[in-house]
Structure 1
Amino acid sequence: GYSQQEGIDYDETFASVARIKAIRLFLAYAAHKDFTVYQMDGKTAFLNEILKEEVYVGQPLGFVSKQYPDHVYALDKALYGLKQAPRA
């Protein structure tokens, strides 16, 4: 993801997140109604989705095929730092 360049490797990125006003409203309502609020963080949520576009990566150092050193891999799922991950 770190060597990706905008306009070449991807066009745009987007990650859907809640606005702070919506979060505050939810917490105020929950406090008013004496609800218990639970929080969770899906740290690998983006990595479990199938990519909607073709993304290719080079072979990582230490894992280069001796038979096919110039081959690249087509990703089925996202990697950490991949710009397309939030849109998967």
Structure 2
Amino acid sequence: TFSPVADVKAIRILIAIATYYDYEIWKMDVKTAFLNGHLNEDVYMVQPEGFVNPKHPTKVCKLQRSI
């Protein structure tokens, strides 16, 4: 899975600027940042338990967004 992260040099520059101007630094983690993102490839999965279509129990689902 691809997860974009900041370059270490960029982080150091931002910390230096924040220190110079006496800015307060905060950090956070967004656990749902990549939820429901667009897919660049075709991804298929079996029908989730409890959501199986009784008319087509062997069919699969094509995902339109990441889960």
**Normalised TM-score (structure 1):** 0.60
CA gap of 1:42–1:29, structure 2 versus 1, over 3 A, is same
Q: Which has the higher contact order (CA 8 A, sep 6+)?
A: 1
Instruction: Show structure 1 runs of 5+ residues with no match.
Output: 1-12, 80-88
**Aligned with 2:6 (options 7, 15, 18):** 18
Which of 41, 51, 55 in structure 2 is aligned with 1:53? 41
Alignment size in residue pairs: 67
* Consecutive unaligned residues in structure 2, runs of 5 or more: none
Residue 21 of structure 1 and its aligned partner are, at CA, apart by 4.5
Show the counterpart of 1:75: 63
Q: Runs of 4 or more off by more than 4 Å in structure 1?
A: none
- TM score, norm. by length of structure 2: 0.73
Which whole-Å deviations, capped at 9, do the CAs of 1:3-59 have from their partners, x for residues lacking one? xxxxxxxxxx43221244532332232022112334343322212321111101101
The CA distance in 2 between the partners of 1:62 and 1:14, in whole Å, is 30
Identity %: 46
Instruction: Say what the alpha-carbon RMSD is for the aligned residues.
Output: 1.9
